[in-house]
Amino acid sequence: MKATLSDFGLRFGKIPLLVDSTSAISIAKNPVLHSRTKHIDVRFHFLRDHYEKGDIDLVHVASENQLADIFTKPLKLQVEGVDNALIKGEIESQWTGLIALLV
């Protein structure tokens, strides 16, 4: 991808790669063979190779903040306190049926 972008005249240093796995970052940054990593096939060390070349910079981001996860995990409906409001009669009756369906 970096080569394609450079064809269009765009130049980049290290491309930040947002990763939510601290284990993957540790393995990529420390290429020493550990007992935990010896079973990983050499062809799967793609990130480590590009990190060593200086093409990418691995940045840790919490799973909750991963933008890619928005479309891969179900979204939670924010209905906290709605049931209490229904009991207290704070919500208009026209919305009661809709809220009952959502809860």
Per-residue pLDDT, 49: 84
- CB-count burial class (<10 Å; 0-12, 13-18, 19+) for 20: middle
Statement: the pTM of the whole predicted model exceeds 0.75: no
Per-residue pLDDT, 3: 79
**Domain coordinates of the chain in residue numbers?**
2-72, 75-103
pLDDT in tens, the chain (103 residues): 777 878 888 877 888 878 887 777 777 777 676 666 666 766 667 778 888 888 888 888 887 766 666 666 665 555 555 555 555 555 455 445 555 555 4
Under 8 Å CB-to-CB from 62, ≥6 apart: which residues?
Answer: 20
